[in-house]
Amino acid sequence: MSELGELDRPGTPDSPGAWDEHSEEWLTGAPETDVRDTETTQTPSQTTTPATRAARRGTADPVKALMHRHRELCERAVDPLEIAAGLEAHGVTDRTAARFRHRDVFSLAEEMYARLSKDVETAPRSTPSPAPGVRADWVLLSVLPGALCAATVTGLHLTEGRIRPAVATLCALAVALAVRAALGRGPLSARSHPAPPGTYPRRTPAATRVWTYWLLAYALLGDDLLTAALTDGPDGVPAAVRDLSAAPALALTLACVPAAWCAHLFAVGARRKLAASRGLADFTAAVKPLLLGAVALFLCLSTALVALSATLLHEPAAYTTTVTLGALLLLARLLTKHGFTHAPAVVLGAAAAAEAATLATAFASHLPGCAFLAAPLDAVVAAGGPAAIPAVACGGAGLLLLLHATRSLTRASAHATPGEPG
Amino acid sequence: MLVRIGLLTEGGYPYVSGDARLWCDRLVRGLGGHEFDIYALSRSERQEDEGWIELPPQVSRVRTAPLWTAEDDGVVYGRRARRRFAEVYGELASSLCAGPGAGSTPDGSDAATAEADRFASALYGLAELARDEGGLVGALRSEAAVRALERACRAPGAQGAAREARVPDLLTVAAYLERALRPLSLDWYGDDGLGSVDLCHAAAGGPAALPGLLAHHFSGVPLLVTEYGVPLRAHYLASGADDNAPAVRSLLAAFHGRLASEVYRRAELVTPGNTHTRRWQERCGADREKLRTVYPGMDASHFAEVGESPETGDTDTLIWVGRIEPAKDLVSLLHAFAEVRKEEPKTRLRVIGAATGAESEAYLGHCRALAAQLFPDEAEGMHAVGDNPVSFEEIGGPEAPTLAEAYAAGAVVVLSSVVEGFPISLVEAMFCGRATVSTDVGAVVEIIGGTGLVVPPRNPRALAEACVALLRAPARRERLGAAARARALELFTVEQNVEAFHGIYLEVVARCPVHKVVLDDTGEPLPFAVPAESHVPGRWTQAGIGVVARGGPSWATGRASAPVQATPVPAGEGVR
């Protein structure tokens, strides 16, 4: 019968209101008592009046008993009307309220609200939304581009002759797909930071994509092209394309791993600060070092990766270009992910335009009568090598984005998680 | 008189899965003499995909907008617009932080009125900003909004719960407000939209009435609000289930309360569907003079045959019809039936209805078990196969093929609920001319009047006594049944509902007509530009140039030199 007793809830409404065990007991108790009374006393004509019921229960303060029954409702209530709505959902009507010497449910609820001891103010805190966990899928996917790129480089070393371009194309395609997959999952993806409820998901603008591809292409080919353009003019281009440097590509693809982890650490830290901070200013102050720390961590790790890939491939390590480009792309991705799509597109475009302008100037200097164009380029290249151009472009752009990020990514609204507005 | 009605719905008509679409459909079809423009807010993508129901010809246009999504139009505010937004949003936030919105001061003291005014001016300020500059969706999601909320919560006058708000709470509230204020960004309020109707009829309160408020603010269109449930109460019940922080719940409750009282304040008339709703509306500050209870209408034709014919059912049978769920308290009914059997051993009880959902299924199973325990199977004689005096059936089964026949099969219809809103099954029983015994919950007393017996809820003995009294008195049963049917036919038919709204429309339009001043090319008001004939019923211009029909007679349109030119004139400018 105990199982049936659990189901025996004659008074339990199927309503969205909170329905604690105490009120349940109260409800199950009431009709059963009535029936038992009938059986024992055998006075069918006598109906249970409120007075006799109150007398039987022996409570001097019926409202207090009612509050005890609806304790949870009372503790949660933010105003009297909420208590009134909850009471009505439990079947309390104006006629029931009359039993408590009140005109209607509203005044009964007001009394209950007024009598709530104010020390119950330590209401239950809402649990912070769970931080994004470390999941195997994005960890593996972030390793994938680097691994594929390493395989590509090995394959190119092992193969000879006509099969080589085919291998290079196929592997480049595979690496591109892997990068796309790595960006589509985990902390770097736009989905890891869901758009506010009921809004369209944020998409990376096409301009950002195009400029990113251009910057990557320049990192692979640009320095050689620039040198060739300054020395041989257009004739040197085929040779420059043939011996493109693989070390930056390997380093950049390997850097997907630290990028994902830094983004993850930033997201987790920001979520924690969000739950802990008392005001918006506190939050901003707490998140700023977090952001700078994450970027610094990425810079250190990617420098190490550049050194590693250069040693492995026996190529000179292009620290400045690769590291600045990596940081620039990471910042652009972080901003895009949090909904600030405009600034990354503009800044990436500016960096790409600077690089393109340099190349164009170098080639144009071979036109008759335009040799003077090469003079400033020659000076820069003589001072810092061909790598100075992308380093300055990406470094400047990266600094701009970092400044923007310290202002925009440290706002609480950038970290809003979807609530559940009804 | 031809009235052009802007029917405002939210997640309802004309969507196939909408709430209250049946009522709206009957209303629109029943009032063929008027013209309806439907402005519908959809509640989910699925609802939009499911499409509309078929619309009658008096619906001249339908405009829809999604509430479940909002596209940022990419407008970035300049400095002045930003300052204006921060100011207005700050006002809104501080009016929310100032305390509970509705109810705490029903008497309407000066301070409460001032707070309500502050909320209203902030709301209209945001709407004006959205109309002038656009980009409200982005602004409501921006850091400026969150900062304004924080400032309001930390301000000296803020109430206790709001002062506790932490950063995640502020973000939640900002996201919720953005969602709730989406109707402000709609382009419905121009002279070709809600500005051109004679009357806005909101089919529900809350978000559905928000466009009506703005149309009233921008164009002076009178607003009529019909509520069959109270959105504020629904919000409280829903917020009891989620686990938001007290600060969030108190701010959101304040928003809903203030919105409700603003709607009731601005509405020309408010029509609650029953006394319970009416009490909540009064509590939220609705003026008693504005309230007209209009009972929901039901189709009585299915029950006409049963209702007209004399009692045919088994005179020893009690009938219970409804959806089986714990709130219906069938256990109490079974206990009551046990009492009845002591007095009248030949009585039978038929419980007709289906259980949906796991909890209801379990409850039905429990009721069956209890019935089997309380009442052993019985047979006619030693050689007959017996069965239980309590039977559980479903509509459409062999014993009860239709709803009307289910009611007709017994002598007394019983309702044993502990919680009820507006019990439909009781009205159906009244249409069928059955004597009823019901518990005193929800709107039962209001529905039944004096035409049935009412007992306290959770009192099986009283229920049993009432049933026995009716079982023993066929003449009384018949009298009560006839009276119940007469009452139901007078109060709860579709016809009375439609007729009531027809009268209300005419009353509202007569009492506060929209004064449109039509300007000519030089900006001077055109006298007699909107002639009285434009309100004559019937279509006396060809379809397609509805603007002309309102602006001037059709013979005036073809001539360039005609004195009254409706078409090129920007109608409705400088309204009021």
Is the CB of B360 inside 8 Å of chain A's CB atoms?
Answer: yes
Closest CA to B544 of B567, B517, B521, B572: B567
Contact B457 A16 (CB under 8 A): no
CB-closest option in A106, A121, A413 to B141: A413
Nearest chain B residue (CA) to A277: B167
Contact A12 B72 (CB under 8 A): no
| pLDDT recorded at residue B453 | 94
Distances (CA, A) of A356 to A41, A382, B166, B418: 101, 19, 48, 78
Angle at A352 between CA A225 and CA A405, to 5 degrees: 140
Q: Which phi and psi angles does A205 have, rounded to 5°?
A: -65, 150
Q: What contacts B77, CB < 8 A, 6 or more positions away?
A: B85, B133, B135, B139
Least reliable range by pLDDT among A118-127, A242-251, B404-413: A118-127
Distances (CA, A) of A402 to A138, B98, B568: 25, 40, 55
Q: Of how many residues is chain B composed?
A: 576
Is B437 in a helix, a strand, or coil? strand
Is the CB of B260 inside 8 Å of chain A's CB atoms?
Answer: no
| Per-residue tokens: B461 | 């003995």
CB-closest option in A13, A274, A421 to B176: A421
Give the mean pLDDT of chain A.
77
Contact A413 B244 (CB under 8 A): no
Is the CB of B331 inside 8 Å of chain A's CB atoms?
Answer: yes
A96-109 per-position pLDDT tens digit: 888 888 999 999 99
- Whether residue A264 is predicted with pLDDT greater than 60 in this model: the reply is yes
Rounded CA-CA distance B517/B576 in Å is 7
Q: Best interface-test mutation with A: which of B43, B140, B143 has the largest number of A CBs within 10 A?
A: B143
CA distance B391 to chain A (A): 19
Distances (CA, A) of A51 to A59, A100, A101, B108, B494: 11, 11, 12, 36, 43
CA distance B162 to chain A (A): 10
Over range A294-323, report the average pLDDT: 89
Q: Best interface-test mutation with B: which of A24, A200, A277, A413 has the largest number of B CBs within 10 A?
A: A413
Q: Which phi and psi angles does B38 have, rounded to 5°?
A: -105, 125
CA distance A87 to chain B (A): 10
| pLDDT recorded at residue B89 | 95
Rounded CA-CA distance A365/A359 in Å is 10
Q: Best interface-test mutation with A: which of B258, B261, B461 has the largest number of A CBs within 10 A?
A: B461
CA distance B526 to chain A (A): 45
Q: In what order do the strands lie in the sheet with B412-415?
A: B390-393, B348-352, B317-321, B412-415, B435-439, B453-455
Is the CB of A286 inside 8 Å of chain B's CB atoms?
Answer: no
Size of interface A-B (CB pairs under 8 A): 225
Q: How confident is the model at residue A203 (pLDDT cuts 50, 70, 90)?
A: low
What DSSP string describes B23-82? HHHHHHHH-TTSEEEEEEEE--HHHHHH-B----TTEEEEEEEESS-B--------HHHH
CA-based torsion, B355, B23, B416, A28: positive or negative: positive
Q: What contacts A112, CB < 8 A, 6 or more positions away?
A: A63, A66, A67, A70, A74, A80, A83
What DSSP string describes A84-136? HHHHHHTT--HHHHHHTT-SSHHHHHHHHHHHS-GGGG-PPPPPPPPPPPP-H
Per-residue buried b or exposed e for B506-521, using 16+ beta carbons within 10 Å of the residue's own CB: eebbeebebebebbee
Tell me which of B360 and A49 has the higher pLDDT.
B360
- Whether residue A58 is predicted with pLDDT greater than 70 in this model: the reply is no
pTM recorded for the entire structure: 0.80
| pLDDT recorded at residue A296 | 95
Burial of B373 (0-12, 13-18, 19+ CB in 10 A): exposed
Tell me which chain A residues have a C-beta less than 8 angstroms from the C-beta of B174: 413, 416
| Per-residue tokens: B321 | 């019809």
Q: Best interface-test mutation with B: which of A3, A49, A79 has the largest number of B CBs within 10 A?
A: A79
Rounded CA-CA distance A365/A314 in Å is 33
- Whether residue A253 is predicted with pLDDT greater than 80 in this model: the reply is yes
Q: How confident is the model at residue A45 (pLDDT cuts 50, 70, 90)?
A: very low
Nearest chain B residue (CA) to A90: B419
| pLDDT recorded at residue B559 | 42
A328-373 per-position pLDDT tens digit: 999 999 998 888 888 899 999 999 999 899 888 888 888 888 888 8
DSSP tag of A13: -
Contact A13 B327 (CB under 8 A): yes
| pLDDT recorded at residue B18 | 79
Contact B387, B378 (CB under 8 A): yes
| pLDDT recorded at residue A199 | 43
**H/E segment holding residue B134:** none
pLDDT tens track, chain B, 576 positions: 678 899 999 888 888 887 778 889 999 999 888 889 999 998 888 888 888 888 888 898 899 998 888 777 777 888 999 999 999 999 999 999 886 655 444 455 677 788 889 999 999 999 999 999 888 888 898 889 999 999 999 888 888 788 888 888 899 999 999 989 999 998 898 888 888 888 999 998 888 899 999 999 998 899 999 998 888 988 998 887 777 888 899 999 999 999 999 999 999 999 999 888 999 999 988 899 999 999 988 888 889 888 888 777 788 899 999 999 888 889 999 999 999 999 988 899 999 988 888 999 999 999 999 999 999 888 777 888 888 899 998 888 887 788 888 898 888 999 999 888 889 899 999 999 999 999 988 889 899 989 999 998 889 999 999 999 999 999 999 999 999 999 999 999 999 999 999 999 999 988 888 777 777 777 777 777 766 666 665 555 544 444 444 444 445 444 443 344 333 444 443 333
User: Residues A50, A56, A57, A63: what is their CA dihedral angle, to the nearest 10 degrees?
Assistant: 30
CA distance B550 to chain A (A): 39
Q: How confident is the model at residue A323 (pLDDT cuts 50, 70, 90)?
A: very high
Angle at A355 between CA A352 and CA A359, to 5 degrees: 135
Contact B441 A93 (CB under 8 A): yes
Interface confidence (ipTM) of the complex: 0.83
| pLDDT recorded at residue A17 | 36
Rounded CA-CA distance B347/B468 in Å is 9
